[in-house]
Structure 1
Amino acid sequence: MKPLVILLSFTFFSTTLYANSHSQQHFDTGGLSRESFPEGFLFGTAASAYQVEGMASEDGRGPSIWDAFVKTPGHIANNETGEVSIDQYHRYKEDVDLMQMLNFDAYRFSISWSRIFPRITPHANLYHYDLPLALQEKYLGLLDRQVIQDFADYAEFCFKTFGDRVKTWMTFNEPRVVAALGFDNGINPPNRCSKKFGNCTDGNSATEPYIAAHHLILSHAEAVKRYREKYQAKQNGRIGIFLDFVWYEPLTRSKADNYAAQRARDFHIGWFLHPLVYGKYPRTMQKIVRERLPKFTKSEVEKVKNSFDVLCLNHYTSYYIYEPHQAPSNVTGYQQDWNAGFAYERNGVPIGRRAHSEWLYEVPWGMYKAITYVKKHYGSPNIILSENGMDDPGNLTFPESLYDINRVSFYRSYLKELKRAMDDGANVSGYFAWSILDNFEWLLGYTSRFGLVYVDHNDLKRYPKLSAYWFKQMLERKNS
């Protein structure tokens, strides 16, 4: 045999041996099992259209703002794109079979607005960062009120077309990220910001994030109104929104640091959740942003309040927050409005083990605090923990990627804290791991791997990792 053939044979042998041995291995689940969660609790995995589908320029799909953004050299690691990604467009049956084999109940995916156009319960998200490029070019997308009507029309088409099969709808994924990264520092499309905050040709970081967010909230509310009035009763479904929530812990016990941490929470989760529960922005934001913060009309207040049946929270990490010692900058922008400093260690001790992504630290206790905070401040809504996970570097060797013991530890520790929050009264009805497969990780391209399943980007073959088999065991039904 030639050396290459020997290597390929060994790889096949070791992978087969790995799969056979770990599918039978007994894992430490930390006392967790399907039975330790309430009956009917959903366990699923998640992904989004642009990150996994491929076929980005084919089969009638129009371009989104991400299709244009990735074509500019330097925007994405190694100038990679989602043109092919992991080709779930063609391989979705294989991937759903994988989810079922691993004992998951549900799959959270997104519908590509610009495409319009599984034995696993579908949880459909209508918008995951990918605004149709035509709307951005026509009227600047989220900066114009026309987007409210256009999004609601798109949402209604999906309700009418797919509502007989989809019983859980979500309007937007992480609208805070859309507004902040797209319009404050401009690192995501549509790449708008004040010149002092990023490499943008247009934009105003002092006003545009708040305008975009306002229109996102009103778009959500209008879509929910149409669903409730025309489809919900006969389709027997529910509708909500995905909000990201980093837990912000005061660096010290000082009043100043506690106030800074609360400002961070208000500008993060409160920016969207406060209107959806109370019909207005947090008092902190009103006081700081003042005339730059849009206002809801009386009729909009009634439409926005209580405009969700289920609240989906994406939670990954936590940071320490402190009151900056220097005077606030005279340069105005969304992040500057927080007037808060970020710290990632206390007294020389890191807040947690860092994953590959610079922003992601393993802080399990933050899960408990985030969930209980929402319970306490926002009327104990029905919560689905809709994203949670960690990434490894994309350049790990194949065996190193499969033996992802840090990911196993991450999931075990975070799920234990989620269970603790539920035991203390939090109303949580589901959990979704991010992600089922290694995929296109936005600005990081394919240099980051979040998947429970390894994807060989040369031939797109799928290989379950150790963490996948950990979930398989943890989710086994005793009567199966």
Structure 2
Amino acid sequence: MVKKEEFLKKIGEKREGHVTREVSRNDFPPNFVFGVATSAYQIEGAYNEGGRGPSIWDAFTHTEGKIIDGSNGDVAVDHYHRYMEDIDLIAKLGFQAYRFSISWSRIFPDGLGTKVNDEGIAFYNGLINALLERGIQPYVTLYHWDLPQHLHESMGGWLNKKIVEYFAIYAETCFASFGDRVKYWITNNEPLQTAVNGYDTGIYAPGRSENASTEPYLAAHHEILAHAAAVSIYRSKYKEKQGGQVGLVVDCEWAETNSDKIEDISAAARRLDFQIGWFLHPLFYGDYPEVMRERLGDQLPKFSEEEKMLLLNSLDFIGVNHYTTRFISHTTECTEENQFYKVQQMERIVEWEDGEAISEKAASEWLYIVPWGLHKTLTHISQKYKAPIYVTENGMDDEDNDDLPLHEKLDDKQRVRYFMGYIDAVAQAIKDGADVRGYFAWSLLDNFEWNQGYTKRFGLVYVDYKNGLTRHPKSSAYWFSRFLKSRECKKGKEDY
């Protein structure tokens, strides 16, 4: 197992998990982009307004027992009606970019692409125009998990190859409607989460777990093909005139080998291939990683030769969502419940050799604060997949706690430390040669946190759910504001 002091000394950390250098805006290239991120279902609300059709998350959250606090995104934080207020906050804090997602069922209520919902187009036009008027660059995600419910009910959603065609129609409609102003597009956010948690564990919409040995891989296969189809349309019909870029966002929990044993080193590499190689390998090499083919056999769908040609180099940048890190060791008796982990034959460990936790923990049981893991993630992706990188999500959560006075809820010292450490890790990765072009903090606002409902708060801005959804910037928001104005952040751990 890993010895803490030896390991931290080896990677150059002087104290566990936290920033070891003063970090400022000047540590980044002048054209480096800093932004904040959200997603449609988590913040918009207005679930039955403006011509929007239902999504799988509407159906899922209205099913008893699926969400820990019994809540849903019907209202969420009402961004649909309050986006001007939220854009003002982004501008005042000094962020240059805003990553948000479009709700597919707000553009095509049934998902089929037969009739465009003009009210949905108008809403996103208003949002995009308001951002540009404030000097904020829109980074638009086409799919952040909220599949139109009709597509799931009528044809099985991502399990049906026909979904590739419908996604391409939806993507082209967005390119045609918004691409004169939107220059950065993301086709799909964290397709792994859709595949595994939607079709293996069932803890995310559409909540399937009946065929965990095949459905996650089939859903992922179609997500990859949908991405490539959208990129092909953009490059052939829109890129020359609009001049934009299209990327894909993968999520990666860094996998650090738990020892120098060859089996543990192999297990850590295998873990990374099953996380990010699953989606990036086909786009760079034309097929899934060899280790996935070996372990999954016929469970893993095959690409035709024509599809492989469509896949190759079908992205302009890689988006990376990263939050935390695990030590990985090989095991033949995986204790994880879901099939996806079992086939990897690895154990995820959150302790050093002496039993001490890998670092301090945020509110979510899975989220340990390990900045060096982001440095390693960016370095690995930069070396294995040659493309510009954007950190499209990075952040931590607090537990929702009504017992605390407001001023204590807003004084999020731990989150400030988190961002100081992780942003420093990005700066060091760039210094070491990684082509990282931007960083987006998750999240602008406290919001609906999927199966956790409103029990977890990731926001830079506190949302008072019980008093009119009032917005209150936290200490972390003001830290970012100072940081983005190029003032050196000299305060260390002892000040926060």
TM-score with structure 2 length normalisation?
A: 0.87
**Alpha-carbon separation, structure 2, partners of 1:359 and 1:70:** 22
**Does 1:369 find its partner at 2:380?**
no
- Counterpart amino acid of residue 469 in structure 1: Y
Show the counterpart of 2:207. 191
**Alpha-carbon separation, structure 1, partners of 2:376 and 2:417:** 19
Show the counterpart of 1:266. 273
**Does 1:245 find its partner at 2:236?**
no
- Counterpart amino acid of residue 366 in structure 2: W
**Does 1:61 find its partner at 2:67?**
no
Show the counterpart of 1:40. 31
Show the counterpart of 1:113. 104
**Does 1:345 find its partner at 2:361?**
no
**Alpha-carbon separation, structure 2, partners of 1:333 and 1:362:** 27
Instruction: Report how far residue 361 of structure 1 moved.
Output: 0.6
**Alpha-carbon separation, structure 1, partners of 2:41 and 2:20:** 33
**Does 1:173 find its partner at 2:189?**
yes
**Does 1:410 find its partner at 2:426?**
no
Show the counterpart of 1:147. 163
**Alpha-carbon separation, structure 1, partners of 2:368 and 2:253:** 11
**Alpha-carbon separation, structure 2, partners of 1:219 and 1:235:** 21
**Alpha-carbon separation, structure 1, partners of 2:89 and 2:21:** 24
Instruction: Report how far residue 450 of structure 1 moved.
Output: 0.3
Show the counterpart of 1:429. 437
Alignment of 1:466-477 (within 5 A): 466-477=475-486
Instruction: Report how far residue 184 of structure 1 moved.
Output: 1.2
The Cα offsets for residues 37-57 of structure 1, whole Å up to 9 and x where unpaired, read as 101110000000000001011
**Alpha-carbon separation, structure 2, partners of 1:369 and 1:463:** 34
Instruction: Report runs of 4+ in structure 1 exceeding 3 Å deviation.
Output: none
Instruction: Report how far residue 359 of structure 1 moved.
Output: 1.1
Instruction: Report how far residue 335 of structure 1 moved.
Output: 2.2
**Alpha-carbon separation, structure 2, partners of 1:65 and 1:324:** 36
Show the counterpart of 2:408. 400
Aligned to 2:472, which of 432, 455, 463? 463
- Counterpart amino acid of residue 43 in structure 1: F
Aligned to 2:150, which of 129, 134, 154? 134
**Alpha-carbon separation, structure 1, partners of 2:295 and 2:186:** 30
Show the counterpart of 1:441. 449
Alignment of 1:11-90 (within 5 A): 30-90=21-81
Show the counterpart of 1:20. none
**Does 1:390 find its partner at 2:375?**
no
Instruction: Report how far residue 29 of structure 1 moved.
Output: 11
Moved more, 209-218 or 254-263: 254-263
- Counterpart amino acid of residue 35 in structure 1: N
Instruction: Report how far residue 272 of structure 1 moved.
Output: 0.4
**Alpha-carbon separation, structure 2, partners of 1:262 and 1:429:** 25
Aligned to 2:223, which of 200, 206, 216? 216
- How many residues are paired up? 439
Contact 1:185 1:192 in 2 (8 A): yes
TM-score with structure 1 length normalisation?
A: 0.89
Contact 1:261 1:322 in 2 (8 A): yes
**Alpha-carbon separation, structure 2, partners of 1:75 and 1:400:** 31
Instruction: Report how far residue 338 of structure 1 moved.
Output: 0.7
Instruction: Report how far residue 400 of structure 1 moved.
Output: 2.0
The Cα offsets for residues 242-294 of structure 1, whole Å up to 9 and x where unpaired, read as 11011011122211111111111111111001111111100100111111111
**Alpha-carbon separation, structure 1, partners of 2:27 and 2:425:** 13
- Counterpart amino acid of residue 309 in structure 2: E
Unaligned runs of 5+ in 2: 1-18, 108-119, 121-130, 488-496
Instruction: Report how far residue 30 of structure 1 moved.
Output: 5.0
Show the counterpart of 1:279. 286
The Cα offsets for residues 160-190 of structure 1, whole Å up to 9 and x where unpaired, read as 0011111101100000110010111111111
Contact 1:151 1:219 in 2 (8 A): yes
**Alpha-carbon separation, structure 1, partners of 2:470 and 2:20:** 28
- Counterpart amino acid of residue 464 in structure 1: P
The Cα offsets for residues 177-208 of structure 1, whole Å up to 9 and x where unpaired, read as 10010111111111111xxxxxxxxx311111
- Counterpart amino acid of residue 386 in structure 1: T
- Counterpart amino acid of residue 212 in structure 2: S
**Alpha-carbon separation, structure 2, partners of 1:140 and 1:238:** 30
Contact 1:86 1:455 in 2 (8 A): yes
Q: Secondary structure at the match of 1:136?
A: helix
**Alpha-carbon separation, structure 1, partners of 2:376 and 2:24:** 22
Aligned to 1:93, which of 84, 98, 105? 84
Contact 1:206 1:332 in 2 (8 A): no
Q: Secondary structure at the match of 1:430?
A: strand
**Alpha-carbon separation, structure 2, partners of 1:76 and 1:226:** 37
Q: Secondary structure at the match of 1:369?
A: helix
- Counterpart amino acid of residue 95 in structure 1: D
The Cα offsets for residues 317-340 of structure 1, whole Å up to 9 and x where unpaired, read as 0011111154x79x9932221111
Q: Secondary structure at the match of 2:326?
A: strand
Instruction: Report how far residue 220 of structure 1 moved.
Output: 0.3
- State the superposition RMSD in angstroms: 1.5
**Does 1:161 find its partner at 2:177?**
yes
